[in-house]
Amino acid sequence: MSDAVTVVTKDTFDQVVLQSQDIVMVDFWATWCGPCKIVAPVVEELAKEYEGRVTFAKLNTDENPDLASRYNIRGIPTLMFFKEGKVMDQVVGAVPKAQLKSKLDALI
Amino acid sequence: MYDVIIIGGGPAGLTAGLYTSRARLKSLLIEKGFAGGQVMTTEWIENYPGFEDGISGADLSRKMEKQATKFGLEIVQGSVIDISMRGGIKEITLEDENRYETKAVILATGSNPRPLKIEGEDRYRGRGVSYCATCDGAFFKGEKLAVIGGGDSAVEEGLFLTKFAETVYIVHRRDRLRAAKVVQERAFANEKIKFVWDSVPEKIEGDDSGVKSLHIKNVKTGEQSSLDVGGVFIYIGYDPNTGFLKDLVNLNEGNHIITNENMASSVPGIFVAGDVRVKPLKQIATAVGDGATAAIAAEKYIDENL
């Protein structure tokens, strides 16, 4: 696991995600989820490509069920895009990197 | 230059890789997601011989991967967008523009869940609409759910969902199931499962928080009704992953690849294994057989032609 993607929990979510000045992409995932394993390396790559422009975070839904239900997570992986504490967009399931890039580029 | 490149890392592809590696052919497997394919997202497998108590899909996938790489199979992650021919040599291009040359190709690209194509399906995808009970089931504790379909996948995943859900409606267009009898018996004995026969889904409705109901129609009486459910899990079949192969190999009307009994496609040196080809039964047990046959056919092709 690289340092490019910040692990967030219920204790750090407000600070890292909601109070950030950057666009933040959060990867909601769990250890037992196959498709999450497809998305994780893509998120790592994006984190390197967008370093300094976008914050990347990942949240384990098993360990943080309250946050998962606050954001109505019904399937993982869910990638949620935040700007100034608000959800701007979201993608569910393993999608091609190009699709994630276009969503990020639209927000920056 | 590789001897064999295998596209797809499910049971068919991994078995092909095991056999080609043991034949000392320089072998590469290209997988777009994760080794195991659909098996990876299957909760529990109890019809694959050798595991008398059953085995989780994730464990079986890892074991198959380890066994193949132990004999020298290389695995890379990538999405193949093109296969072109230069004489007997095949050139494979990935989405990231990497290119590989090989003498023989084994296509084991498998299939993907087929969508219902009804209103609300795309809109609520990931917010109650799911094609993967093992991925998403845990988010529906104490809720009512609908499963669409009547085959093995539908009924097995319906049973899995009863771990979390209060009620699981299995909505099936016919009045009897196609699933294996032992699976059917389990479903009929499970009090949380309710069957909705002769019915097809028409529309999925919801609000900002996700799915709220599924509208269904009885195909015999025409009667329309609705189920109050928080999730709809869709298991009506699978479409083969042959999009990038349309102009290369012969497909049938369902877009599956046509092969002979040696797993050869219409193009010399391109072999096929697993769910992506035309075959009567799509199981792990049949996929591994295809993989072994394709591998040995590829070895013979290289020996005789290149």
Question: What's the CATH code of the domain at B104?
Answer: 3.50.50.60
Pairing of strands B270-272, B99-107: parallel
Backbone dihedral angles phi then psi of residue A8, each to the nearest 5 degrees: -115, 150
Give the largest CA-CA distance in chain A.
32
The dihedral built from the CA positions of residue B115, B117, B122 and B123, taken in this order, carries a sign that is: negative
Contact A74 B127 (CB under 8 A): yes
Distance from CA of B49 to the nearest CA of A (A): 23
Taken in order B6, B72, B40, B120, the sign of the CA dihedral is negative
Q: Where does a domain end: B193, B214, B234?
A: B234
Annotated catalytic residue within A8, A33, A54, A104: A33
**B contacts of A49 (beta carbons < 8 Å):** none
Domain total for chain B? 2
Nearest to A75 among B33, B36, B130 (CB): B130
Paired strand residues for A66: none
Q: How far apart are CA B29 and CA B14, in angstroms?
A: 8
Question: Which residues of chain B carry a pLDDT beneath 50?
Answer: none
Long-range contacts of residues B96-100, Cβ cutoff 8 Å, at least 24 apart = B100/B2, B100/B5, B100/B28, B100/B30
Q: Are A30 and B37 in contact (CB under 8 A)?
A: no
Q: Among partner residues A30, A92, A96, which is closest to B126 by beta-carbon distance?
A: A92
Domain's final residue, options B185, B205, B234: B234
pLDDT in tens, B144-186: 999 999 999 999 999 999 999 999 999 999 999 999 999 999 9
Domain with A50 in it = 5-101
Tokens of A83: 């700007």
Residue B142 forms contact with A (CB below 8 Å)? no
User: Which stretches of chain A are assigned E, i.e. beta strand?
Assistant: 5-8, 23-29, 54-60, 78-83, 86-92
**8 A C-beta contact, residue B38 and residue B13:** no
Q: Is residue A106 part of a domain?
A: no
How many structural domains are present in chain A?
Answer: 1
The complex's ipTM? Answer: 0.72
The two structure tokens encoding residue B193: 């499962």
Give pLDDT, residue B180. 95
Q: Tell me how long chain A is.
A: 108
Count of Cβ atoms closer than 10 Å to residue A11 Cβ: 9
Q: Is A46 within a domain? A: yes
Q: Answer yes or no: A33 catalytic.
A: yes
Token pair 């219409």 is at which residue? B266
Task: Verify that B250 and B208 share a domain, yes or no.
Answer: no
**pLDDT given at position A37:** 79
Cα–Cα dist A70/B89, whole Å? 54
Give me the domain span that covers residue B259.
Answer: 2-113+238-305
Kindly report the pTM of this predicted structure.
0.80
In a domain, B21, yes or no: yes
Chain A residues contacting B, CB < 8 Å? 30, 32-38, 41, 61-62, 68, 72-76, 78, 90-94, 96
pLDDT at residue B38, as a whole number = 86
Task: Identify whether B132 is a catalytic site residue.
Answer: yes
- Nearest C-alpha in A relative to B36: A34
Q: What is the pLDDT of residue A84?
A: 93
**A-chain residue closest to B31, CA distance:** A38
B104 plus B6 within the same structural domain: yes
Say how far apart CA A37 and CA A40 lie, in whole Å: 5
Domain termination residue (choose one: B202, B234, B266): B234
* Cα dihedral across residues B205, B210, B213, B217: positive or negative: positive
The pLDDT assigned to A1 comes to: 44
SS3 B299: helix
pLDDT tens-digit profile, chain A (108 residues): 457 899 999 999 999 999 999 999 999 999 878 778 778 888 999 999 999 999 999 999 999 999 999 999 988 999 999 999 999 999 988 787 888 999 999 998
Chain A interface includes B132 (CB < 8 A): yes
Beta strand pairing status for B2-7 and A86-92? unpaired
- Does B36 contact chain A (CB < 8 Å)? yes
Residue B203 covered by a domain = yes
Residue B298 has φ and ψ, to the nearest 5°, of -65, -40
- Check if B135 is active-site: yes
Residue A10 within a domain: yes
Q: How many CA atoms lie within 13 A of B274 on its CB side?
A: 32
Identify the CATH number of the domain in which residue A34 sits: 3.40.30.10
Check CB contact of B289 with chain A, cutoff 8 Å: no
Contacts of A41 (CB under 8 A, 6+ apart): B77
- Would you say residue A108 lies in a domain? no
Statement to judge: residues B244 and B206 lie in one domain: no
Residue B254 lies in a domain: yes
Q: How many CB atoms lie within 10 A of CB B151?
A: 17
